[in-house]
Structure formats: C-alpha cells, structure tokens
Amino acid sequence: MKKILSILMAGVLLAGCDKYIDINEKGKVIPTTVQDFYDIMCDYNTFTMGFSNAFMASDEIHVYKDEVNRIFFGADVFTNAYLWKDFMYVNEQDNDLDWNLLYKSIYKANVVLDKIDKAVGSDEVLRKKAKGEALAQRAYAYFMLVNQYAPHYNPASYDKDLAVPLYLKADINAALPRATVKAVYEQIENDLTTALPLLPNTPAFNYHPSQAGVNGLLAKIYLYQAKYEPAKQKAEAALAAYNFLYDFKDYDFIPGLPKFLGLSGFASRAIDNKEGLWHKQSNNGFVYMIACYMTDEHRALYEPKDRRLYFTLIEDAIFGNNLHGLNIMPKERYFKTGVTTPELYLMRAECNARLQEPGLAIDDLNLLRSKRFLPADFVPFDRNKTDLQALELVLKERRMELFTDGWRLFDLKRLNLDPRFKRDISRNWGGETITLKPESRNYVFPIPKKVIALNPLLEQNPRDNKQ
C-alpha cells in the first residue's frame, strides 16, 4: 500500500486534515455534490502553495558559509541548492516539498475533474466554476514543475527533453514515465484555455483563479515559449480586467516600531495584497530573512531613491540582525509566486520591446516606476530607445520589481538560450568560487530520489558530476 500511495508524490497525497477524500474511510466525507467538489477547490493550504526550491538557487542572494547554520529551512538542503549541487535532497528518504505539494494540488484537481460533470446538484454556475478552477490549478502546478525539473522550453529539443509525469486522472495506482516538455506545455495551454470561459472575470478572493488570472498565466507561458505576440495579447487581456498598482509614496514603516512589522497601512499578508491577481506563495515564507543577503550586484541595479530597495533591506528583523549586513524583508512577509499586476506590465513591456515597439515598452516601465519613487525623485526614461536598449531596461526592471518573487532562476534558464544574455553566475563560499555555466545541467533540478526509487519508469535528470 505504501508503494502505491507514494508513486505519484512520495506518500503525502492524502496527508493532513482534508475534509474530503476520494476513498471510503471511516470518519471522512465522500464528495458527491457540486458544492462538495467546489469545497475541495477552496483548500487554501493546498492551492496557495507555489514553490521554494528556485529561491535558493537564484543568483540574487548571498549566503555566508560561517552563518548558514542560522537558516531555519534545513541548512543542508538550502546549501545544496544554493551551491547548485547535483542533489538538493540527498537521501531516498528525503521529501522534496515542491514536488510533493505541486503533485498534491494536481491530485486534488484531478479528483474534481474526474467527478464534477456528474456531481449531484443544479447549480451549473458553480459546477463550471469548480471545473474551471481545477483546470487552472492543475495548469499552474505543471507550469511550476516543468520549469524546475526540465530544461527550458526550446523548440530545437522540446519534443525530446524529458519533463515530469503527466497525471490527468486521480489514479493513485498509476506509475507513469516522464512526459516531454512539449507535451506538458501543450497540456498547460489546453487546461488554461478550457478553463477561461468557465471562470468569473476577476476573483472574489485572490487565491481563486479567474479569467484575469488565467490570462496572466497564459501570458507567462507564452513569454517562456518566446511567443511574444500572444503573450502580449494575454497580458493586455489581464490588465484590461484588473490593473491596480500600489503607489509607494503613500507608505512607510510604522514610526517608532521595528521595521520587520511592515509598512503602515500596507497589506500585511500576501493574500490581501491588491497587486496579487492570482495568489500563490512560497511554502517557506521566511527563508530569506535568516542569514541571507541581497548580492552587491543586485543592489547596484537600484537608484538610491528607489523605494523598492528602501522597503526591502532593513536594519533589524524578527529573528535578530544578520551577521554580515542588512536583512531582506520579504514582501508582506511572504513571497508572491502567482500572477501579479507589476509582472503583467513587465511582460507586456518585454513583448513590446521584442516586437519592435520600444516606445510602448518604455511607457509601461515609466508607469510602473512612477509608483516606486517619491514624486520628486522619479525621472522617467526617454522613449527614444532602440529595441535592444528597451529590452535591457525591461529585464533590469524585472529583476528589481520581482526580487524574491521566485522567477529569476527561470528567467536565467530562458535567457541562456539567447547569446546576448547568457552568462556565468558565481558564489563565493568561504573563499572558494563556485560557478554555474549557462550550459550546466544543474540548472535543472533532479527528480527526487525517493520518487525515482518508487517509480522505476522515471529517468533521472543528468547531473554535472554524475553523483
């Protein structure tokens, strides 16, 4: 029984205090009605979870060897990811939380998709909504999985590059091989386009997907596929439905109180953040507050009066000062890994720069940046830029605006396919220099050893050192 339950996602599919479960167990409620199945989609703890492995491998953070023992989130795991080692989770007994939590959400979405069409009830609006949310949440999970455990989408090899098992039914007995990157992306796109007409235009609560949120995720998948015209169209569709941006001139730290308590009047939880159109968050919300620093290279990107930098680096934190400099203050104390309005503007700007509309790209950058400075400190960019100049500015703004939002590692993977932007990235680890080359196989995370041991159909990703 243990092997059967573990093949799909290492033994945690049915873990926790779930009200609904798809097997007949004493004390559990068997979902039968439309409302029952929609209640499954309201599982906040499952469907707000994004990813965290990619945070640790970003080139925009720095960790000191003499302080790593202060990190709460498994110092060994953190260090393995931070140093781009062959395996983050070394033993077959170790659970990769990203793999487990993302497949858990896929499993629950599949339970709903398997049964919702024949569920008891006459509320057809709710039936459509439950189905649309299940499709959207499954698509999001596969998008996170394919970008962590597979090479970046590359038409030269995507029909051969291995991604992740593609489970489309809630069958805990199934053992599937890895699908290709092409197949996974096609399924993501199909799920999202099918979900669109089933969902409301905007969400009542931002952890539920909506048409605006789904269009935002479609913009992201098209951007990652270098399909810039459809990416632009989807970003515009999302922004047409919802385009709120905070104006940072209206906020500051609470006078007389520690800065880790956050900004006066600002959302204290990511779920309340009004720039979040489809809320997701890292499953380790404090991972960057302890013994972790912004790199000097990243800090140099900001202008001195940029309030994004002012709000991010603080002198003290809830767990005390770090040993080597300023603490990183996570946005709203959680990282946002879903669909947000700032990224929608940045995606549209990038598409315009790549589609030979540099002036339009600069317009979006100026709109976003005008909200990130005090009025007296804001200097707009000149619209008279070449395509490349506009693109370089967009990518720079993307790094600053999305710092700690989790997308940087994926951006490095896609930019490595472009000779203009590929680069080596390095760590200084106690005097030793560790370098990740653009062609390194360790940009792709390994399939968890525990999952490989349980499912012999799965091939491991090649590793640099073949451990």
Query: Three-state SS string across the chain, please?
Result: CHHHHHHHHCCCCCCCCCCECCCCCCCCECCCEHHHHHHHHCCHHHHCECCCHHHHCCCCEECCCCCHHHCCCCHHHHHHHHCCCCCCCCCCCCCCHHHHHHHHHHHHHHHHHHHHHHCECCCHHHHHHHHHHHHHHHHHHHHHHHHHHCCCCCCCCCCCCECCCCCCCCCCCCCCCCCEHHHHHHHHHHHHHHHHHHCCCCCCCCCCCCHHHHHHHHHHHHHHCCCHHHHHHHHHHHHHHCCCCCCHHHCCECCCCCHHHCECCCCCCHHHCCCEEECCECCCCCCCCCCCEECHHHHCCCCCCCHHHHHHEECCCCCCCCCCCCEECCHHHCCECCEEHHHHHHHHHHHHHHCCCHHHHHHHHHHHHHCCCCHHHCCCCCCCCCHHHHHHHHHHHHHHHCCCCCCHHHHHHHHCCCCCCCCCEEEEECCEEEEECCCCHHHCCCCCHHHHHHCCCCCCCCCCCCC
Domain CATH number, residue 47: 1.25.40.890
pLDDT over threshold 80, residue 18: no
pLDDT (tens digit per residue) in 114-161: 999 999 999 999 999 999 999 999 999 999 999 999 999 999 999 999
Q: How confident is the model at residue 73 (pLDDT cuts 50, 70, 90)?
A: confident
| 128 & 223 share domain | no
Residue 221 maps to a domain: yes
144 and 266 in a common domain = no
73 is a domain residue: no
293 in the same domain as 322: yes
pLDDT band at residue 14 using 50, 70 and 90 as cut-offs: very low
Q: Is the pLDDT of residue 68 over 80?
A: yes
User: Which pLDDT value is given to residue 437?
Assistant: 97
pTM greater than 0.85 (yes/no): yes
Q: Both 32 and 181 in a single domain?
A: yes
Residue 409 sits at the vertex; the CA angle it makes with 408 and 410, to the nearest 5 degrees, is: 90
Question: Do 254 and 318 reside in the same domain of the chain?
Answer: yes
Tell me, what's the pLDDT at 290?
A: 85
Asked, for residue 171, whether it belongs to a domain, the answer is: yes
Give the tens place of pLDDT for each residue, 159-205: 999 999 999 999 877 899 999 999 999 999 999 999 999 999 999 99
Q: What is the mean pLDDT of residues 439-464?
A: 95
Distance of CA 33 to the CA centre of its chain: 32
| Tally of domains in the chain | 2
Same domain, yes or no: 294 and 366: yes
Amino acid at 364: D
* Residue range(s) defining the domain that contains residue 289: 200-405
Q: What is the mean pLDDT of the chain?
A: 90
Residue count of the chain, please give it: 467
pLDDT tier at 43 (50, 70, 90 boundaries)?
A: very high
Pairing of strands 327-328, 339-340: unpaired
Residue at 64 is within a domain: no
53: in domain? yes
CATH, residue 224: 1.25.40.390
What pLDDT was estimated at residue 407?
A: 94
Last residue of a domain, one of 405, 432, 453: 405
Indicate whether 65 belongs to any domain: no
If asked whether residues 180 and 224 sit together in one domain, one would say no
- Kindly state whether residues 39 and 173 are assigned to the same domain: yes
Does one domain contain both 255 and 352?
yes
317 pLDDT band, cuts 50/70/90, is: confident
**Does residue 431 lie in a domain region?**
no
Of 388, 405, 422, the position where a domain reaches its end is: 405
CB 245 within 8 A of CB 275: yes
Whether 269 and 170 map to the same domain: the answer is no
Report residue 278: phi and psi, to 5°.
-145, 100
Q: Is residue 428 part of a domain?
A: no
Of 379, 405, 431, the position where a domain reaches its end is 405
pLDDT band at 268 (very low <50, low <70, confident <90, very high): confident
Do 246 and 139 belong to one domain? no
Do 351 and 230 have their domain in common? yes
